[in-house]
C-alpha cells in the first residue's frame, strides 16, 4: 500500500504529527482507537471524512515506522 498518498507530515498541521492527508486526523488517534477496540466501521462512522483506505494506511504507516527502529528499548526478561 502506498501510504505516502494517504499520510502526510506538515509542520503547520497538528504540530507535524502524521495525519490523514487533507484532514487533521492524526495517525496516532486512529491507532489508539483501534487499540481500544474500535473497528474500521466505528472509525468511519465517527469521522465522516475518513475512508477505509485511510485507516489501513495509518496501520501500514505505523508498521513501517516500527520496522525502521533499530534499537528497541525492551525490558530485560527475568
Domains contained in the chain, CATH given: 3-67 (1.10.10.10)
Q: What is the pTM of this model?
A: 0.83
Q: How confident is the model at residue 1 (pLDDT cuts 50, 70, 90)?
A: low
Strand-pair partners of 8: 19
Q: Given this model, what pLDDT does residue 71 score?
A: 73
pLDDT tens digits for range 27-78 = 999 999 999 999 999 999 999 999 999 999 999 999 999 998 877 677 787 6
> Comparing 77 with 10, which gets the higher pLDDT?
10
14-38: average pLDDT: 97
Q: How far is CA 61 from the centre of its chain?
A: 6
Amino acid at each position: 500500500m502506498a501510504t505516502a498518498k494517504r499520510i502526510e507530515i506538515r509542520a503547520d498541521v497538528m504540530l507535524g504529527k502524521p495525519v490523514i492527508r487533507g484532514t487533521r486526523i492524526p495517525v496516532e488517534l486512529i491507532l489508539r482507537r483501534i487499540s481500544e477496540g474500535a473497528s474500521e466501521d466505528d472509525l468511519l462512522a465517527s469521522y465522516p471524512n475518513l475512508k477505509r483506505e485511510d485507516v489501513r494506511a495509518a496501520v501500514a504507516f505505523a508498521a513501517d515506522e516500527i520496522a525502521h527502529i533499530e534499537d528497541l528499548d525492551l525490558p530485560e526478561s527475568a
